[in-house]
Each structure stands twice: as C-alpha cells, then as structure tokens.
Structure 1
Amino acid sequence: MSPFTRTHGEYEISDDPARLDLDVIERLLHATYWAWERPRAVMEKSIARALCVGAYLRGTQVGFARAVTDGVTFAWICDVVLDDAHRGTGLGRALVESIVNHPEIVDVRQVLATRDAHGLYEKFGYERYGNVFLARNFKLRPES
C-alpha cells in the first residue's frame, strides 16, 4: 500500500503510521465518551492492527481516525477524534471523508457507532440502523 495523503487548507491528512503521535491520540481518545478508560497499551495494539489516518497542522497531529478492516468485505470505522481547537474548520468532515473513502476500504461494507454525529456520516452515504449504528455499502436482506 502506498501512502495516502491529502490536504485541507493548511492541514494535511495522511495514513503514514510513522507520523502518528500516540501521546496526542491518547489525549484525544481519553476526552471521548467511548474511550476515556482505554489503556495506552490497548490503544497502541489497536492502532498497529488497523488502517489509521492522522490530521496534522504544520507537522503536529490534531486529529485521528481508525478503521478495523480485512480490506475486502468489512470495515468498522471508529475512534474519529479532533482536537477542540480545530473544530469548525471543516477538518472533521475532511478527516471522515479520508477514512471512509480511503482506497483500501472505499468499496467494502462499513459500519460505525455514534451517539452524536449521525448527520455527518449520513453525508457520506451511511444509513441509520437504530439510534446508534450506521452502515454504508451494506443492505440487509429483506425478511421473506
């Protein structure tokens, strides 16, 4: 896989694992409702086994997103986080777009869970299943 990089204004989004700053990712994830108790060792292991993208401003990481995937049939989009100081810049949307449309997973079934960002993901073709789960490129077979 060749490195994936795109820009959003002054920001850069990259899937280069060597650029990920685990201290920043830990701080961002510990501020969330879903990963506030996740141990650092678990974060490190999960990042090493996933497709990740980081968002950077002048080389400093300010955002992160992860996809747990086999790259063929399924991807779980998770841990999408952005430093509060960079909200309102469109970077969150660019970060989501970068992970869900990443060349490695753009055509696979994707699911995610969120309590508060349904509208953002629906802009990328996700459909709600209940109050928490969304899916893209995924259709349930009708009951017969």
Structure 2
Amino acid sequence: MLSEKSESKFSNLNYKNYFISTKKSLLSKQKVWSLLRECFWSKNIPIEYVQRFINHSLCFGIYQTTNKKLVGFGRVITDYTTYAYVCDITVDPKHRNKGLGSTLVKTIMNYPELQGLKTWSLRTTSEAKKIYEKFGFKIAEHPDTQLEINDLEIYCHAAFVNLHKKYNL
C-alpha cells in the first residue's frame, strides 16, 4: 500500500513551471473529468466513475506551480507487488509539447512503491507508442494470448441508466 513517506517524497516533484504530485487532496474530480472527457478512451465517462477510480488508483497530477491548476493526469492500477497497469495519461492541449507527458511517465516508472514489479502494461495509440518505447515498453511478447473485454460504449450505457434512475423513467 502507498506509504505517507513515498507520497510526501513525490508530492512536489518540480519540472520547469510545473510540479507532479500523488496527493489526492490536490485532485478535483471535476478537473480530472474535464481532462479525460476529451480523450477517445473516456468519452462520456460519468463523473461518478472518475471519483471512484481516483479512490482506488495511484494517481499522479501535473499542476502549474503558480496557481496549482491541474494540467495533466495519469494513474496506475496495481497490486504494488507484481503488476502495474498505467492508464489515463493525458496533458491539457495548451500544455503539450513541453515534455510533461514524458516527465509524468518517468515519474510513474520511478515511483518508489512501484519498484521491482514483474510486469508493467498499458494501452496506447500508434502515434504515442514511440513515447512509451523510450521507457522500455514494447508490444507484448505473446499478444495472441492476451484476452480482454472492452466496451467503449459502456459510459453511454451508464449515462443512460443514470438518467433513468434520476428521473424515475
């Protein structure tokens, strides 16, 4: 489990005019939701889901030093022993091309509680693949044995169900 010592060590990792923090007290579900709803993999994500995954993931926020505005986000789903799944890496378009995404991935990979893991994984686009390859990620050795259930429409279904519940339809 995440120790207070590790969290405080990374709570103010400075990079140019930004800092990266794992402190959940700095994260606003509204701001994370605003960043993620622009990403193809989380279109229409209900805001309630955002709070839930913040509660159950190791989250990293990129903030402007001057005003603590969230400009980037990423998280890790892990057992802290053997496996880490890196996901939801995103940077506000106004702050891209400054090395923030790469710095975020490097910070995640160097996080003390995640050292010594057997397997790291992630999903990415073909355009972003080169970024992750710099950190040692590669196409799975046996992709034909990896199975998944992936419903990109799930958020649309969830929003529909929530509307029905809200208005007793």
The question of a shared fold, defined as TM-score above 0.5 by the shorter chain, is answered with yes
Question: Contact 1:52 / 1:65 at 8 angstroms: preserved in 2?
Answer: yes
- The residue number in structure 2 matching 1:127 is 138
Please give the secondary structure, in 1, of the residue aligned with 2:139: strand
Q: Quick one: distance in 2 between partners of 1:123 and 1:56?
A: 24
Residue 101 of structure 1, CA deviation: 2.0
Partner Cα distance (1:83, 1:114) in 2: 17
Deviation at 1:129, TM superposition (A): 2.6
Residues 1-144 of structure 1: matches in 2 within 5 Å? 1=3, 2=5, 3=7, 4-5=10-11, 6-57=13-64, 58=66, 59-108=68-117, 109-115=119-125, 116-129=127-140
- Tell me the CA shift for residue 47 of structure 1: 1.1
SS at 1:114's partner residue?
coil
Number of aligned residues: 131
List runs of 5+ in structure 1 lacking aligned partners: 133-144
- Check conservation: 1:63, 1:83, Cα contact below 8 A: yes
Of all paired residues, the percent bearing the same amino acid is: 34
Structure richer in helix, relative to its length: 2
Q: Which one scores higher on RCO, CA 8 angstroms, separation ≥ 6?
A: 2
- Matched residue SS, 1:111: strand
Q: Is the 8 A contact 1:52 1:99 kept in 2?
A: no
TM-score by length of 1: 0.85
1:120 Cα deviation from its structure 2 partner = 0.5
The structure that has the greater radius of gyration is 2
2:124 alignment partner AA: T
